[in-house]
Chain A
């Protein structure tokens, strides 16, 4: 309050003092109008230019980043597609090597069957009945014009012979048909065999066709990626987002497994490294040791899957020769098994420690121990041991979602960064426009503060020019407008 009073010209009359001060300030501000307008204009222009430059840089950087992301995404997609095509070709190769390799043998077998069937068919041909030789004899007898009963006797003999021959021929004909039927019956397995062989061939050909269609599809995708098609890029980006979501979910489940694993071995680890050692105020060394064991198991699992070429996080392992890779695989598996064994024994020790502590607590509380069922009490112990052995192997498979997470995270972060930078660029552009407009607004606001001297100035100018041609704009304003245009 005392400071205020120091500013007052007439401390007894505050209103008058404030009015006088206001007038003085107004006069001062009017006098400083031109430089003040200049300062406001320059400051706003400077800020606008600055934000504009930053905005441009942001947008260009976003563009560059997008191109880089695109290149990485397409390269990764190309690589993935190439691997898929490789695998499809491998499958087709296996199919051809294993199944169609037998094709000549199959063909030979089919030809044999066909020949066999043809032979049988020929055998089945209808045998014409023997020509009736007795017809000529009958004609000769019929030409005999006399002779009494001789022709009749002869004809009767012939009739008997004919009947006899007819019976014989009929029997022969029936027997012949019977044989042909037998042959035709014998052809049935051959036909079935041929049918089966053709069916198998058909199946193989269908599989081959499916594989070739898949190869065709992958080739189309690969071509689209190579051509930097926007649809392919979009599909790859969406695929990355989906991959990230799935991998994150699996990793979350794995984190749950890791927590259980950690709980299982944290207590017994205190028996090995001591329970009273602390790394920080609340972080026990035994807890860290348990965590290290789990991380080592995960690392061994990672190496195992790398050496099996299931994951490809380390190009060096992927490019190793098969012998070395197999050695690495065996080493990883052995280490993993040893660690699983250690964990299983730690789980057993945990059960023993808990039982010992429970017994001590009972002793201290002078409570009689409850009767225990041997089988029932050993079930949790066995369960813990089994879990201790199995969990490290289950944890090894985390490498697969981890790889997916690493690859997809790069794309997702890249897309996020690009969008963020673009958004920031646009925002800065808006800020630039605001700065530009605010210069005029601030100048007008300044003029409002000194509106009284400005009005006086206008009146004075109007009076000087005898109200003939009253300039609507002050000369200072004209000069200022000119300088702005020049800027």
Chain B
């Protein structure tokens, strides 16, 4: 009589122990930057599809934020929508619906910006994701990766991206890149070197949005 009781108590203790465990260590945190500068603003619909994919893939307990990249992007004002999904799947589904509506409103009224402050947006994203204390932190940059800084904007300093995954999405070729492809390749190499120097664990470029979207997120357990 005592033995089964002990087993039941042990299992309950395990359950409670699990409930008290650090859930954040297994959660994903995704910060998506959407470039709204110049002609790239027209790509907002594509960005919307990527966000929908992220909403469909992320699980309860994960965090997602979408921010636009503007002339000076190191500000919370550029965050279009942010959410940490509830632990309960039903609540998380409702939150995803609300998030989708916000993004839809945003994509319908995108205003092109004069400059592109990718570095500032990266720092802002890193700050947000560090606050969420997610186990796997991913910054997705939906941009041509051509940084253009306005007068008085200082970004030529080392940045901190320890433990982050950086995913560059839809890195389109500019007119000048077509004339000299080295410009495009050098641009990507420059960003890779910069983020790796900043401490990023992974640098991924995804241009095939039809078939390679699963590269954006890593499966649980493969990242430590």
Cβ contacts under 8 Å, A276 to chain B = 23, 26-27, 59-62, 87
On whether the beta carbons of A270 and B60 are closer than 8 Å, the reply is yes
Cβ contacts under 8 Å, B93 to chain A = 356-357, 360
| A312 vs chain B, min Cβ distance (A) | 13
- Interface of chain B, main secondary structure: helix
| B15 vs chain A, min Cβ distance (A) | 5
Q: A276-B23, A277-B23, A314-B1 in contact; A361/B56 too (CB < 8 A)?
A: yes
Cβ contacts under 8 Å, B15 to chain A = 273, 285, 288-289, 292
Q: Is there a chain A Cβ closer than 8 Å to B158's Cβ? A: no
Cβ contacts under 8 Å, A299 to chain B = 4, 7-8
Q: How far is the CA of A206 from the CA of B54 in the complex (A)?
A: 78
Checking B1, B19, B26 against A316 with a beta-carbon cut-off of 8 angstroms, the contacting residue is B1
On whether the beta carbons of A295 and B1 are closer than 8 Å, the reply is no
Q: A271-B88, A317-B1, A363-B100 in contact; A277/B59 too (CB < 8 A)?
A: no
Cβ contacts under 8 Å, A361 to chain B = 56
On whether the beta carbons of B18 and A278 are closer than 8 Å, the reply is yes
Cβ contacts under 8 Å, A314 to chain B = 1
Which partner residue on chain A sits nearest B4 by CB separation?
Answer: A299
Q: How far is the CA of A464 from the CA of B217 in the complex (A)?
A: 96
- Write the A263-294 contact mask toward B (1 if CB under 8 angstroms, else 0): 00001001101111111011001001100100
Q: Is there a chain A Cβ closer than 8 Å to B189's Cβ? A: no
Pick from A275, A303, A356 the residue with the most CB of B within 10 Å. Answer: A275
Cβ contacts under 8 Å, A375 to chain B = none
Q: Is there a chain B Cβ closer than 8 Å to A296's Cβ? A: yes
| B71 vs chain A, min Cβ distance (A) | 31
| B28 vs chain A, min Cβ distance (A) | 10
Which partner residue on chain A sits nearest B5 by CB separation?
Answer: A299
Which partner residue on chain A sits nearest B85 by CB separation?
Answer: A276
Q: Is there a chain B Cβ closer than 8 Å to A469's Cβ? A: no
Which partner residue on chain A sits nearest B56 by CB separation?
Answer: A364
Cβ contacts under 8 Å, A279 to chain B = 14, 17-18, 21
Q: How far is the CA of A365 from the CA of B100 in the complex (A)?
A: 11
Q: How far is the CA of A279 from the CA of B93 in the complex (A)?
A: 24
Checking A275, A278, A302, A303 against B25 with a beta-carbon cut-off of 8 angstroms, the contacting residue is A278
The size bracket of the interface on B is 35 or more
| B26 vs chain A, min Cβ distance (A) | 5
On whether the beta carbons of A275 and B21 are closer than 8 Å, the reply is no
| B23 vs chain A, min Cβ distance (A) | 5
| A40 vs chain B, min Cβ distance (A) | 56
| B198 vs chain A, min Cβ distance (A) | 27
Q: How far is the CA of A44 from the CA of B185 in the complex (A)?
A: 75
On whether the beta carbons of A360 and B96 are closer than 8 Å, the reply is yes
Which partner residue on chain B sits nearest A282 by CB separation?
Answer: B221
Q: A357-B93, A360-B97 in contact; A277/B55 too (CB < 8 A)?
A: no
Q: How far is the CA of A275 from the CA of B100 in the complex (A)?
A: 21
Restricting to A52-93, which residues have a CB under 8 Å from any CB of B? none
Cβ contacts under 8 Å, A357 to chain B = 89, 93
Which partner residue on chain A sits nearest B135 by CB separation?
Answer: A278
On whether the beta carbons of B4 and A275 are closer than 8 Å, the reply is no
Q: Is there a chain A Cβ closer than 8 Å to B46's Cβ? A: no
Q: Is there a chain A Cβ closer than 8 Å to B213's Cβ? A: no
Given A273-B15, A274-B23, A360-B93, output 9 extra A-B contacts at Cβ < 8 Å.
A270-B88, A276-B26, A277-B61, A279-B18, A279-B21, A281-B221, A288-B15, A357-B93, A360-B96
17 example contacts (A-B, Cβ-Cβ < 8 A) are as follows A274-B60, A274-B88, A275-B60, A275-B61, A277-B61, A281-B221, A285-B15, A285-B19, A295-B7, A299-B7, A353-B90, A356-B93, A360-B55, A360-B56, A360-B97, A361-B56, A364-B56
| Residues of chain B having any CB pair with chain A under 8 Å | 1, 4, 7-8, 11-12, 14-15, 17-19, 21, 23, 25-27, 52-53, 55-56, 59-62, 87-90, 92-93, 96-97, 100, 220-221
